[in-house]
Amino acid sequence: MILPCAGAGSRLGLPFGKELLPLGAGSTPLDETLDLLLPDATALRLVVVLGPGREATARHVIARTTAAGLPVAFTAQRPELAECTGAVLSAQPWFADRNLVLLPDQVLRFPAAGLIGRALDALGDAPFCFLAAREDDPARISRDGALLITGGAPARLADYAEHPPLAAAGRFNATWFGFAFRHDAGEALFLVHRAVTGRPVTTADVAASPLAGCPVIETGPYLDLGTWPAVHARWTEQMGEEQEALL
């Protein structure tokens, strides 16, 4: 498991990592991500990629993982490797045969049991897989990592573009929540890194890469808590749940 926790969170302007943003009831986005991992703690190893000033994040991870028996290591993001995929590449010395990347500012609306195992199992037949949610909002598709996926169980990737223009967003039908890759999937990982860092990736590039036809594990809807509108939506939802519980 690789968790990139090095981003500056400039869109939120917080004095701490956005993975520690309070969500209510003593929870943070980082807690919700760790909650997905801890049921499989004895079968996993966790590498957390940190940036400067993330000591609080490291302490939080240690507090949550020690009792569960989840082995954890910390490494620094290399300055020449930008964005979340640069954080993943910074962890390359710790790659296992199968690796899963989750972003600790994205939280599932309805977490499903067994998601981690399903994603890693998908690598038995493919070098790469996405975890994704169906999406029909062109604005969100344009803002997030956009996928065109087929039906089936699992769904399959037909095309990928990290931030397609709004006019082209309608041809995509999902956004990615995380991804998994085998140790030998360098070509696919570097193609995603190229797209995330804003360099051109065409439909032909995707079709000629190991991404073409790779499995897509559907997660159900999620919130990207990297913007204040999304944070406000989560706080509003949390308040409603707490009030309902009191009633």
CATH code 3.30.1370.30 for 1-109: no
Tokens 């073409």 label which residue?
Answer: 212
Secondary structure (3-state) at 50: strand
Whether the Cβ atoms of residue 197 and residue 85 lie closer than 8 Å to each other: yes
Is the peptide bond preceding residue 154 cis, with omega within 30 degrees of 0?
Answer: yes
pTM: 0.91
pLDDT score recorded for residue 81: 96
pLDDT score recorded for residue 247: 56
- Render the burial of 85-117: b for 16+ CB within 10 Å, e for the rest: bbbbbbbeeebeebbbbbbbbbbbeeeeeebbe
**Residue 135, CA distances (Å) to 35, 103, 240 in order:** 24, 18, 24
Q: If the chain, 247 residues long, is cut into consecutive pieces of 10 residues, what is the mean pLDDT of each piece?
A: 84 79 84 94 96 93 94 96 96 96 93 92 96 96 94 93 95 97 95 96 96 96 81 75 59
Domain range summary for the chain, segments of one domain joined by +: 1-109, 124-220
Counted residue by residue, the chain has a size of 247
Tokens 């990629």 label which residue?
Answer: 49
Name 2's Cβ contacts closer than 8 Å, sequence gap at least 6: 46, 47, 49, 87, 88, 91, 94, 99, 100, 101, 102
Separation of alpha carbons 100 and 157, rounded Å: 17
